[in-house]
């Protein structure tokens, strides 16, 4: 019996060691570290931990123990220390939607600004807990009442659950501003990554509502704004840069939109875009709309991939504006409130932000653009991680705070 137990322990140890070594080798073979990142070793360590967590999550998923998103979120939330310095925090529900309210402890002689916040994570990871400290910081430093929305996500919920939750929570919040001591003329909607997409969709959706206050401004922190065109310079040049690599991005998109992985290559090469759809969207998505300095080394594909009608029929819902708000009609874009856009140089979705910036400006919408030359996707969450923080992390949070305070 002791021999059997020893054998099993040795087998488990070898399995753990083998997986860890494979992840380390895969990291060095496939990952690009941007030259302007100030702490490349720290960057590699963080990505190795990220890759290791997702790999073990996939292994546990194959063993029917738990899903990868559940495993990742469990570790992420367990390791997240929640700071409430200077802020009252309360967990609530808007109907069935969990939200977290952050209210500054300092007394105020007048109604405060309100912030609606949607966290990132590709509809797969991220939570109220993972973004708790960021929300505390934003509420305290801007002297605002902030509500963070805990929308439904993978593995159990697919599109459009996320957007339904964000829209319904937003309407509930906007109808309850007086109860929270908020000035209805100063409500900001803010989102990070896919949360930025949610912020755009919510803002576009609520434009025609006359029974709720208008959104004062949209604060979009490296938002994912479309899910069907992957031939822009940043998509091709930054496909292997953490923490949103091409593989992780397309995995999140396919799982959330319930698209079979067999269509992945057709999506990445553009074969799923019909000629009529490209004729409609080219004027907004063409790389020619991106400033030249961001495409100096860009080599466009030699020829467009042949149109695959079957792939188009399976993936065409990715072009809907509740998934790809970047391609909303001009008449909708023209009505949007002013925007603060954060783009990151080393981000695979950088060009989505640049294209959206142009769309807003072309329609006369005021835009404040904050571009971070040493930024990478997800970096804002490291702003308070001390040893594992980066200059770009504090750069972004301070810029967001400064913008909101000036509204």
Which residues are part of the catalytic machinery?
193, 347, 377
Q: Please, are residues 407 and 378 in contact by the beta-carbon 8 Å criterion?
A: no
Token digits for 405?
């305070």
End-to-end CA distance of the chain: 71
CA 306/CA 271 separation, integer angstroms? 6
CA 370/CA 362 separation, integer angstroms? 18
Dihedral in degrees, nearest 10, Cα atoms 342, 343, 347, 348: 110
Cα-based distances in Å from 45 to 48, 121, 125: 5, 20, 19
Cα within 13 Å of Cα(30), Cβ side: 17
Cα-based distances in Å from 14 to 20, 48, 191, 284, 367: 10, 19, 42, 52, 54
10 Å Cβ neighbour count for 231? 18
Greatest Cα-to-Cα distance within the chain, rounded to the nearest angstrom: 76
User: Smallest Cα–Cα separation from 200: which of 177, 216, 220?
Assistant: 220
Burial 65-80 (b: 16+ CB within 10 A, else e): eebbbbbbbeebbeeb
Q: Please, are residues 226 and 285 in contact by the beta-carbon 8 Å criterion?
A: yes
Provide the 3-class DSSP secondary structure of residue 231. Answer: coil
User: Smallest Cα–Cα separation from 269: which of 288, 246, 248, 245?
Assistant: 246
Total number of residues shown for the chain: 407
**Ramachandran area for residue 288 (φ above 0: left; ψ -120 to 50: alpha; else beta):** alpha
Q: Please, are residues 244 and 347 in contact by the beta-carbon 8 Å criterion?
A: yes
């Amino acid at each position: 019996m002791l021999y059997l137990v020893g054998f099993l322990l040795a087998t488990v140890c070898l399995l753990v060691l083998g997986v860890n070594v494979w992840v380390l080798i895969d990291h060095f073979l496939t990952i690009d570290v941007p030259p302007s990142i100030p702490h490349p070793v720290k960057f590699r360590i963080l990505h190795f931990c990220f890759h290791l967590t997702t790999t073990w999550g996939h292994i546990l998923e194959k063993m029917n123990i738990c899903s990868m998103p559940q495993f990742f979120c469990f570790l992420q939330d367990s390791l997240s220390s929640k700071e409430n310095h200077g802020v009252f925090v309360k967990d609530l529900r808007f109907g069935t939607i969990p939200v977290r309210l952050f209210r500054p402890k300092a007394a105020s002689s007048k109604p405060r600004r309100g912030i609606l916040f949607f966290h990132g994570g590709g509809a797969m990871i991220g939570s109220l807990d993972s973004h708790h400290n960021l929300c505390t910081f934003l509420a305290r430093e801007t002297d605002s009442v902030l509500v963070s929305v805990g929308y439904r996500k993978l593995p159990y919920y697919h599109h459009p659950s996320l957007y339904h939750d964000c829209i319904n929570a937003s309407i509930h919040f906007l109808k309850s501003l007086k109860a929270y001591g908020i000035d209805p003329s100063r409500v900001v909607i803010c989102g990070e990554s896919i949360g930025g997409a949610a912020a755009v969709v919510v803002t576009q959706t609520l434009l025609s509502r006359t029974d709720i206050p208008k959104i004062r401004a949209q604060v979009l922190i490296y938002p994912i704004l479309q899910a069907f065109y992957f031939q822009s310079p940043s998509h091709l040049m930054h496909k292997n840069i953490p923490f949103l690599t091409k593989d992780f991005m397309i995995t999140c998109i396919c799982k959330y939109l319930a698209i079979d992985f067999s269509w992945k290559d057709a999506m990445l090469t553009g074969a799923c875009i019909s000629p009529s759809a490209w004729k409609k969207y080219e004027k907004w998505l063409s790389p020619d709309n991106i400033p030249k300095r961001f495409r100096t080394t860009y080599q466009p594909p030699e020829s467009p991939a042949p149109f695959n009608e079957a792939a188009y029929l399976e993936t065409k819902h990715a072009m809907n504006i509740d998934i790809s708000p970047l391609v909303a009609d001009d008449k909708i874009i023209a009505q949007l409130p002013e925007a603060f856009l954060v783009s990151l140089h080393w981000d695979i979705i950088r060009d989505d932000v640049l294209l959206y910036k142009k769309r807003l400006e072309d329609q006369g919408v005021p835009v404040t653009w904050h571009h971070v030359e040493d930024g990478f996707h997800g970096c804002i969450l490291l702003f308070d991680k001390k040893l594992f923080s980066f200059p770009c992390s504090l750069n972004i949070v301070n810029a967001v705070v400064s913008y909101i305070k000036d509204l």
